[in-house]
Amino acid sequence: MPGSLEALPFRGELTRDEPMRLHTTLRVGGPAEYFLRAEGEEDVLLAIRACRELEMPLLFLGRGSNLVVRDGGIEGLTVYLGEGFGRMRVEGERIYAQAGARLQALSRLALENGLAGLEFAEGIPGALGGALLMNAGAYGGEMSQVVESLRVADREGNVHELSCEEAAFSYRHSRMMEENSCVLSAVLRLSHGDKAQIGALMEDYARRRREKQPLQYPSCGSFFKRPEGHFAGKLIEDAGLKGRRVGDMEVSTLHAGFLINRGHASAKDVLTLMQQVQAEVYERFGVHLEPEARIVGHDA
């Protein structure tokens, strides 16, 4: 193994000090020490093996829709599974897709082919890999309901195929998250349906999002997990925290479950506001709000 990442034959582009605010939907975060735009599974496996050999931290990144990067940035190598890792195709009732495929693109592909089951993914801004890692969902649907099988790479650089059952999905959790493995691709099993009905349901979900969510501002979507027996947004609203601001970060006045960036927020602003919300909700209701967003990197 060569002694540096620059010496490796990656197909994708490897850069230094990539600003992570450009790669997260919250638009905050310091630089990634090394940043690789993966162009295929070979890049992913080479990255895993190289980082093990070089004893270098490794982070996999999709669309950054559920990620807070601290202001000091990320040490080691960040591997972006994006445009070069987003191929997808339909065969019968199945969609075969790489981890970088956008959920919105997958739901539209399903619609075009008269396939039902992915309507809930309309409007979710993430990519397939991250959505599978955390079993993303909305409007009563979640990824575990449509996954037939997955290809994942473990931290040794070995590739495994998992069934839906073997992936051990639960609420915003999976075996892949537990083992810190990387989703490479998946087979989604849908069912034939009426195009008009599928399209109408997707439009209904999109309308609800436009009306009830602050989509015009950068955010991570719903910032906190749903506590058992409660809704995070309602607890935050009932604690009187709508509109609470730290710097340019704000608890949305439209949907209290969203923490929004109103301009030039820092990650420190995000985390300070998060901690204030957690503390006040716990003080009022005795409920601990756990962030759904993943927090990585180091402080400035």
Q: Check if the beta carbon of residue 36 is closer than 8 Å to that of residue 61.
A: no
Angstrom distance (rounded) from CA 114 to CA 108: 10
**pLDDT for residue 1:** 45
Q: What is the 3-state secondary structure (H, E, C) of 253-279?
A: CCCCCEEEECCCCCHHHHHHHHHHHHH
Length, in residues, of the chain:
300
Angstrom distance (rounded) from CA 282 to CA 232: 11
pLDDT in tens, the chain (300 residues): 456 899 999 999 999 999 999 999 999 999 999 999 999 899 999 999 999 999 999 999 988 988 999 999 999 999 999 888 899 999 999 999 999 999 999 999 999 999 999 999 987 888 999 999 999 988 889 999 999 999 999 999 999 999 999 999 998 899 999 998 999 999 999 999 999 999 999 999 999 998 999 999 999 989 999 999 999 999 999 999 999 999 999 999 999 999 999 999 999 999 999 999 999 999 999 999 999 989 999 998
Q: 92 in the Ramachandran plot: left (φ > 0), alpha (ψ -120 to 50) or beta?
A: left
Domains along the chain? 5-83 (3.30.43.10), 86-197 (3.30.465.10), 214-296 (3.90.78.10)
**pLDDT for residue 4:** 85
Helix spans in the chain (H): 41-54, 103-112, 128-133, 175-179, 195-212, 232-238, 267-285
Angstrom distance (rounded) from CA 283 to CA 287: 8
Cα pseudo-dihedral 94, 171, 157, 14, rounded to 10: 90
Q: Tokens 């506590």: give the residue.
A: 227
Contacts of 228 (CB under 8 A, 6+ apart): none
**pLDDT for residue 122:** 86
Q: Tokens 């730290």: give the residue.
A: 246
At residue 99, φ and ψ (nearest 5 deg) are -65, -25
**pLDDT for residue 45:** 95
pTM of the model: 0.90
* Cα-based distances in Å from 298 to 21, 70, 207, 291: 14, 5, 38, 17
Active site residue ranges: 172, 222, 292
Contacts of 236 (CB under 8 A, 6+ apart): 224, 242, 251, 256, 257, 277, 281, 289
Tell me which DSSP letter residue 170 carries: B
Q: Check if the beta carbon of residue 99 is closer than 8 Å to that of residue 62.
A: yes
